[in-house]
Amino acid sequence: MTTPTLLQRYQQLKQEQTHLRQRDAASALGVSEAALVACLPESTPLQCQPAQLLPALAALGRLKSITRNQVVVHETQGVYGNLTLSEKTGLVLNPDGLDLRLFLSHWQYAYALCQPGPHGLLHSLQFFDNQGEAINKLYLLDDDKLPAWEKLVQSQRLPADTPAPVSIGIAAPSQPVAVSDTSGFATDWLALQDVHHFHALLKRYGLQRQQAFRLAPPGFAQRLHGTALTALLEGAAASALPIMAFVGNRGMVQIHTGPIQSVRRVGPWLNVLDPAFNLHIQEEAITELWLLRRPTRDGVITSVEAFDGAGDSVLSFFGQRREGEPELPAWRALAASLPAQEAEHAA
């Protein structure tokens, strides 16, 4: 008997589970999402060359951008403008729309898809890393930009005989780093002048983030109770407090800046369901939640950071602020009010 192809297996699975999402179908079939997308008849492989592809996206008008990791999904809308590219990184800087940080060395595969949706055809561009994990998905929102979308696809498409992605499993979780001498770490934490210098501090001492939090100066890192996420979102929504929500994976960080409105729990998901911004958090998969305070030349900057069971940072919150300005007192007060899990500086 002939072995069913991946497409045939997928079609059978969709008949059995009509509402199954593409990512979940790939997992059920034991393949990467990129490998599944590559077999779909409605999929067109594109050259994954950001320097040629990404500058053309501004012509597509408003896009819905979806960036996710294993635990959190971040959906926002805007124009792919104010793009800056270097060899390995990129920046789309629109704080009131698409605000993205790109890590281009992980971008391996790109596809254009035209798929049926509840209100007609959905036109998307989907990008994947070398593990076949989704980095970013962009959906066309303006129907009058369809000719520009088709022009882009035709100019960037790969030959029909291009090999499909190898179905590679998800990368192994990061392992704790063996810590050596950290005697000066707390002092150096207190000497920070910029929140962006924190990564260099971790690298200098060979620390992962959670290791560093447990070595922080007293009062600068605090474990929070799991209910703190709900308290944060509901508190921000009730007060119309503008916040920043960061969600990322190996190839992308996507940022929402501004107030939020509708916070709802649906099954295992804690959600923000606003017209132009959606956030979906699989709350039970978050194993650690931390309140952090880092000194800068603009004063102490407060953040809340969530980790999954693999020790990966999956979601971060800050108060909205501009460079050179102190953080909002209302954000600092909300963060300080969140329920703690244990005493500060606990091991």
Please write the tens of the pLDDT for every residue from 259-268.
999 999 999 9
Q: What is the DSSP letter of 87?
A: S
Q: What is the DSSP letter of 62?
A: E
Return the pLDDT at 63. 97
Q: To the nearest 10°, report the CA torsion of 263, 269, 274, 277.
A: 130
Residue with tokens 């997992």: 27
Q: How far is CA 18 from CA 12, 118, 126, 302, in A?
A: 10, 13, 21, 43
Return the pLDDT at 1. 53
Return the pLDDT at 344. 44
Average pLDDT value for the chain: 91
pTM (whole model) above 0.85: yes
Question: In the sheet that 301-308 helps form, which strands lie side by side, from edge to edge?
Answer: 83-85, 89-93, 99-103, 252-258, 243-249, 313-319, 301-308, 286-294, 221-223
Q: How far apart are CA 1 and CA 163, in angstroms?
A: 26
Mean pLDDT of the region 278-286: 96
More confident of the two residues 209 and 161: 209
* Residues with Cβ within 8 Å of residue 40, at least 6 apart in sequence: 7, 10, 113
Please write the tens of the pLDDT for every residue from 10-29.
999 999 998 899 999 999 99
Would the pLDDT of 342 be above 80?
no
Please write the tens of the pLDDT for every residue from 97-127.
999 999 999 999 999 999 988 878 999 999 9
Return the pLDDT at 236. 98
Return the pLDDT at 4. 85
* Structural domains in the chain, sorted by start: 6-78+108-156 (3.40.1570.10), 185-263+281-336 (3.40.1570.10)
Please write the tens of the pLDDT for every residue from 161-192.
776 665 544 444 555 555 567 889 999 999 99
Return the pLDDT at 345. 45
